[in-house]
C-alpha cells in the first residue's frame, strides 16, 4: 500500500470516528474493521512481521485467521506480512524426519579438530551427519550424527582418524530437552 493510501485511510478514519475517541473506538463490525486497519497502520510493520514469525515458529500449521482473532489484528495485515516473509526467503519449508523412527537410534555430538585438510569435505557429505558447523576456532567443527548401530559409529571414528581429525569431545545424547526454540514464544 502506498503512502498516499495510508494517509487517505487515516484521514477517513479520523473523519468517521472523531467522536468515538472519547468513548469507544467503534460501534459496529464495519467500524471495528476500519479501526483495526488504523491500529495496524499505526503499529510498527515490523511488529506484525514478528508476530507472524513467532506464530510460524511455534506452530506452522496454525491458521492466520486464528491468529487474527487471537491478536485482534486484521487478517489482511497478517497475510501481507506472511507474503513478505516468504518472498524475502526468511522462511523455508522442509519436512522433518525423526531419525529414531527409521532405525537411527544412536545420536552423538562431536567436537572435532582438523589436523590436515579434507575433514570439511568429509563432514559435508557423510551420510550419518545430520548437522555440521564450522566453529570460529581455526579448524574446529561441530557435528551432530545419527548411527544405526555401534559398527557404523566405529566406522565413522576410524574414517575420522584416517583423515587426521582429532575428536576433541564426543557426547552421546540420551534426551533432547529443547529443539528449534528460537522465537517460539508467542
**pLDDT computed for residue 161 by the predictor:** 92
Give exposure, 91-124, as e/b (b: 16+ Cβ within 10 Å). eeeeeeeebeeeebebbbebbbbbeeeebeebbe
CATH number of 99-172: 3.30.70.920
**Cα separation, 125 vs 150, whole angstroms:** 20
- Which of 165, 166, 153 has its CA nearest to residue 104? 153
Residuewise pLDDT in 10s, the chain (186 residues): 555 555 565 655 555 555 444 445 555 666 666 666 655 555 556 788 888 888 888 888 889 999 989 888 888 888 888 888 888 887 777 777 888 889 899 999 999 998 877 888 999 999 999 999 999 888 899 999 999 999 999 999 999 999 989 999 999 999 888 877 776 665
Residue intervals of the chain classified under CATH 3.30.70.920 are 99-172
Query: What is the pairing mode between strands 165-172 and 129-134?
Result: unpaired
Q: What angle do CA 38, 39, 40 make, to 5 degrees?
A: 90
Full-model pTM: 0.60
Burial, 35: exposed, middle or buried (Cβ in 10 Å; 0-12, 13-18, 19+)? buried
Amino acid at each position: 500500500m502506498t503512502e498516499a493510501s495510508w494517509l487517505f485511510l487515516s484521514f477517513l478514519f479520523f473523519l468517521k470516528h472523531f467522536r468515538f475517541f472519547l468513548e469507544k473506538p467503534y460501534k459496529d463490525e464495519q467500524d471495528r474493521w476500519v479501526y483495526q486497519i488504523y491500529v495496524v497502520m499505526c503499529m510498527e510493520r515490523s511488529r506484525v512481521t514478528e508476530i507472524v514469525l513467532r506464530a510460524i515458529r511455534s506452530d506452522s500449521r496454525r491458521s492466520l485467521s486464528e491468529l487474527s482473532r487471537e491478536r485482534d489484528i486484521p487478517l489482511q495485515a497478517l497475510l501481507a506480512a506472511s507474503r513478505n516473509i516468504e518472498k524475502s526467503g526468511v522462511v523455508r519449508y522442509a519436512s522433518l524426519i525423526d531419525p529414531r523412527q527409521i532405525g537411527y537410534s544412536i545420536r552423538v555430538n562431536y567436537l572435532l579438530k582438523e589436523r590436515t585438510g579434507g575433514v570439511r569435505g568429509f563432514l559435508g557429505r557423510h551420510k550419518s551427519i545430520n548437522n555440521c558447523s564450522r566453529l570460529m576456532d581455526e579448524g574446529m567443527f561441530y557435528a551432530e550424527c545419527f548411527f544405526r548401530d555401534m559398527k557404523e559409529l566405529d566406522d565413522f571414528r576410524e574414517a575420522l582418524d584416517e583423515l587426521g581429525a582429532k575428536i576433541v569431545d564426543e557426547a552421546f545424547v540420551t534426551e533432547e530437552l529443547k529443539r528449534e526454540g528460537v522465537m517460539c514464544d508467542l
